[in-house]
Structure 1
Amino acid sequence: MMKRLSLLALMLLAAQLLVNSSLLAQSNPRYPLIPYPQELQERSGNFTVTAQTALVVKDKVFTGEADQLASLFRQAGIALKKLPKAPAKGYIQFMADSTITQDEGYSLDISNERILVRAKQPSGAFRAVQTIRQLAPPAIEGKNALKLVSLPAVLIRDFPVYAYRGMHVDVSRHFFTIDYLKKFIDRLALYKFNKLHLHLTDDQGWRVEIKKYPLLTEKSAWRVLNNQDTVCMRLAKETDNPDMELDKRFIRTTDGVTEYGGFYTQDQLRALVKYAKARHIDIVPEIDMPGHMDAAIQQYPFLACTEGGWKGGPFTVPICPCKETTFEFAENIFKEIFDIFPYEYVHLGADEVNKSSWKNYTDCKELMEKEGLKSVEELQSYFVHRMEKFFNANGKKLIGWDEILEGGVSSTANVMYWRSWVPKAPVEAAKNGNKVIMTPGNPLYFDAAPDQYAVRNVYRFNPIPKGLTEAEAANIIGAQANIWSEWIPTENRLEYMTLPRMLALPEVLWTNRQNDYDGFLERLDAHYTRLDTLKTKYRLPDIEGLVEENVFVDKARFYPSSPAAGLVLRYTTDGQAPTKSSPIVDKPISVTASTLFKLAAFKGDLRGDVYNVRFKQQALLPAFSGATTSGLTVSYYPGTFKSTADLDAQTAASSWSQTNLEVDKSRTSGSDVFGLRYKGLITVPADGVYTFFLKADDGAVLLIDGQMVVDNDGLHSAKEKSGQAALKSGAHQFELKFIEGGGGYTLELEAQAPFGSRKVISPAWFQ
Structure 2
Amino acid sequence: MRKYFYRKTTCLTLLFCSVFFYKTQAQEANAKFPLIPYPTALTAGTGSFVITAETRIVSPSSRFTNEALQLNALLKQYLGKPLKQGKAGPAHQILLQYDAGIAAPEGYRLNITANTVILAAKEAAGMFRAVETVRQLLPADERSQTFLKKVSLPAVSITDQPAYAWRGMHLDVSRHFFSVDYLKKFIDRLALYKFNKFHIHLTDDQGWRIEIKKYPKLTEEGAWRTFNSQDSVCMARSKDNPDFIIDPKHIIQKNGKTLYGGFYTQQEMKAVVAYAAARHIDIIPEIDMPGHMMAAINLYPFLTCNGENRWGKDFSTPICPINESTYEFAQNVFTEIMDIFPSKYIHIGGDEVDRTDWEKSDVCRDFMAKNNMKTTAELQSYFINRMEKFFNSKGRKLIGWDEILEDGISSTAMVMYWRTWVSTAPVKAAKNGNQVVMSPGNPLYFDAQPNPYSISNVYHFNPIPKGLTDKEAQNIVGAQANTWTEWIPTENRADYMVFPRMTALAERLWTNKDEYETYLQRLKMNYPRLDALGVHYRLPDIAGLVDQNVFTDQAVLNPEKPMPDLTLRYTTDGSLPDQNSTPLNAPFTIQKSMFIRLAAFTPAGSRGDIYNLHYTKQTLAEPVTASVSPGLLCSYYPGPFKSAKLMAGKANAVFTVDNIEVPKEAKASSFGLKYQGYLDIPADGIYTFYLTCDDGGILQLAGREVVDNDGWHSAIEKSGQIAVKKGLQPLALDFVEGGGGYTLNLKYSVNGSAPQSVPSSWLKH
Distance in 1 separating the partners of 2:683 and 2:350: 57
Distance in 1 separating the partners of 2:353 and 2:614:
44
Cα shift at 1:26:
4.9
Task: Report whether the alignment pairs 1:580 with 2:579.
Answer: yes
Contact kept? 2:231, 2:246, Cα under 8 Å: yes
Whether the 8 Å CA contact 2:286–2:347 is kept in 1: the answer is yes
* Matched residue, 2:313: 313
2:170–2:482: 8 Å Cα contact kept in structure 1? yes
| 2-structure distance, mates of 1:217, 1:656 | 54
Distance 1:458 1:26, change over 3 A: farther
CA contact (8 A) 2:435 2:477 kept: yes
Secondary structure in structure 1 of the residue aligned to 2:465: coil
Residues 22 and 472 of structure 1, relative CA distance in 2, 3 Å threshold: farther
Pair 1:80 & 2:83 matched: yes
Which residue of structure 1 aligns with residue 470 of structure 2?
Answer: 470
Q: 1:755 to 1:24 in 2, by over 3 A?
A: closer
Residues 33-59 of structure 1: CA distance to partner in whole angstroms, max 9, x if unpaired?
A: 010000101101000000010111121
- 2:634 is matched with which residue? 634
Query: Partner of 1:711 in structure 2?
Result: 708
Contact map agreement 1:750 1:761 (CA 8 A) in 2:
yes
After superposition, what is the alpha-carbon deviation per residue over 1:526-573, rounded to whole angstroms, capped at 9, x for unaligned? 111001111111110011111111111121111111111211111111
Shift, 1:83, TM fit: 3.4
1:766 aligns with 2:739: no
User: Which of residues 744, 747, 754 is equivalent to 1:747?
Assistant: 744
The count of residues paired between Structure 1 and Structure 2 equals 743
Check the 8 A contact 2:449/2:716 in 1, yes or no: no
State the 1:605 CA deviation.
1.3
Q: Aligned residue for 2:127?
A: 125
What whole-Å deviation, never above 9, does each CA across 1:414-456 have from its counterpart, x for those lacking one? 0011111111111100000000011111111111111111111
Question: Which residue in the other structure is 1:679 paired with?
Answer: 676
> Equivalent of 1:168, from 170, 188, 199?
170
**8 Å Cα contact 1:26-1:36 kept in structure 2:** no
Distance 2:269 2:715 in 1: 37
Residue pair 2:288, 2:349 contacting (<8 A) in 1 also:
yes
Q: Report the residue type matching 2:589 in the other structure.
A: S
The answer to whether the aligner puts 1:444 opposite 2:444 as a matched pair is yes
Aligned to 1:433: 433
> In the alignment, which residue of structure 2 is the partner of 1:7?
none
- Contact preservation (8 Å) 1:681, 1:766: yes
Alpha-carbon separation, structure 2, partners of 1:660 and 1:206: 46
What is the one-letter code of the residue matched to 2:203?
T
Query: Structure 1 residue 695: deviation in Å?
Result: 2.3
Q: Which residue of 2 aligns with 1:102?
A: 104
Instruction: Work out which of the residue numbers 690, 711, 722 in structure 2 matches 1:725.
Output: 722
Distance 1:372 1:25 in 2: 66
d(CA) in 1 for partners of 2:501 and 2:751? 34
Using a 3 Å threshold, how does the CA distance of structure 1 residues 25 and 686 change in structure 2: closer, same or farther? closer
Give the CA deviation at 1:697.
Answer: 2.4
How far 1:231 sits from its partner (Å)?
1.1
Q: Within the alignment, does 1:198 sit opposite 2:195 as a pair?
A: no
Cα distance between partner residues in 2 of 1:733 and 1:460:
36
* Contact 1:35-1:506 within 8 A present in 2 as well: yes
SS of equivalent residue, structure 2 residue 510: helix
TM-score with structure 2 length normalisation?
0.95
Conserved? CA contact 1:50–1:78, under 8 Å: no
- Aligned match of 2:733: 736
Alpha-carbon distance in structure 1 between the residues aligned to 2:249 and 2:272 = 20
Contact 1:701 / 1:713 at 8 angstroms: preserved in 2? Answer: yes
Give the conservation status (yes or no) of the 8 Å contact 1:224–1:259: yes
Distance 1:600 1:762 in 2: 34
2:53 paired with 1:45: no
Name the TM-score, length of structure 1 as normaliser.
0.95
Could you tell me which amino acid in structure 2 is paired with residue 729 of structure 1? K
Measured against aligned partners, the alpha-carbon deviations of 1:676-696 in whole angstroms (never above 9, x if no partner) come to 111112222333222222222
State the partner residue of 2:688. Answer: 691
Instruction: Give the C-alpha shift of residue 103 in structure 1.
Output: 1.1
What percent of counterpart residues are identical? 53
Give the equivalent residue in structure 2 for 1:532: 531
Letter in 1 for 2:137: L
| C-alpha RMSD of the superposition | 1.7
Residues 1:663 and 1:594: Cα distance change in structure 2 (over 3 Å): same
Q: After superposition, where does 1:583-662 map in structure 2 within 5 Å?
A: 583-603=582-602, 604-647=604-647, 649-662=648-661
Aligned residue for 2:517?
518
Q: Please name the residue that 2:13 is paired with.
A: none
| Contact kept in structure 2, 1:57 and 1:94, CA below 8 Å | yes
1:381–1:407 contact (8 Å) kept in structure 2: yes
**Paired residue secondary structure (1:349):** coil
1:284 partnered with 2:270: no
Letter in 2 for 1:706: G
C-alpha deviation, 1:660, in angstroms: 2.9
C-alpha distance in structure 1 between counterparts of 2:350 and 2:731, whole Å: 45
Unaligned runs of 5+ in 1: 1-15
> What is the Cα deviation at residue 85 of structure 1?
1.4
- Partner Cα distance (2:182, 2:273) in 1: 14
Q: CA deviation at 1:752?
A: 2.4
Distance 2:258 2:100 in 1: 60
The whole-number CA distance in structure 1 between the counterparts of 2:753 and 2:328 is 69
Mapped to 1, the partners of 2:751 and 2:194 lie a distance apart of: 47
Amino acid aligned to 1:543: I
Q: SS of the residue aligned with 2:582?
A: coil
CA contact (8 A) 2:60 2:86 kept: no
Structure-2 separation of matches of 1:141 and 1:651? 63
Question: 1:587 is paired with a residue of what secondary structure?
Answer: coil
For 1:11, the equivalent position in structure 2 comes to none
Which residue pairs with 1:268 in the alignment?
Answer: 268
Q: Which residue is equivalent to 2:544?
A: 545
Checking the alignment, whether the CA contact within 8 Å between 2:29 and 2:43 is kept in structure 1 is no
When residues 758 and 268 of structure 1 are mapped into structure 2, their CA distance, relative to the original with a 3 A threshold, is: closer
Deviation by residue 1:468-503 (Cα, 9 ceiling, x = unmatched): 111110001111111111111111110111100011
In the alignment, structure 1 residue 159 sits paired with structure 2 residue 156: no
What's 1:252 paired with?
252
Report the equivalent of 2:568. Answer: 569
Deviation at 1:626, TM superposition (A): 5.0
What secondary structure, in the 3-state scheme, does the structure 1 residue paired with 2:589 have? strand
Q: Distance in 2 between matches of 1:267 and 1:72?
A: 26
Q: 2:401: which partner in 1? A: 401
Of residues 315-324 and 723-732 in structure 1, the stretch that sits farther from structure 2 once superposed is 723-732
Q: Is the 8 A contact 1:21 1:41 kept in 2?
A: no
Q: CA deviation at 1:762?
A: 1.4
Instruction: Indicate the SS of the match to 1:505.
Output: helix
CA distance in 2, matches of 1:373, 1:729: 63
SS class of match (2:586): coil
| CA offsets 1:341-372 (integer angstroms, 9 cap, x no match) | 11100000111111111113222122222322
Indicate conservation of the 8 Å contact 1:193/1:281, yes or no: yes
Q: Determine if contact 1:297/1:303 at 8 Å carries over to the other structure.
A: yes
Judged with a 3 Å threshold, the aligned counterparts in structure 2 of structure 1 residues 759 and 354 are, in CA distance, closer, same or farther, namely closer
Deviation at 1:25, TM superposition (A): 4.4
2:365 & 2:22 partners in 1: Cα distance? 63
- Deviation per residue, 1:315-354 (Å, 9 max, x gap): 1111101100100010000110111111100000111111
User: Which is further off, 695-704 or 467-476?
Assistant: 695-704
2-side partners of 1:445 and 1:482: how far apart?
A: 5
Contact 1:107–1:156 (Cα < 8 Å) also in 2: yes
Alpha-carbon offset, residue 28 of structure 1: 3.2
Distance 1:418 1:717, change over 3 A: same
Gaps of 5+ in 2: 1-18
2:130 and 2:618 map into 1 onto residues whose CA distance is: 60
For 1:554, the equivalent position in structure 2 comes to: 553
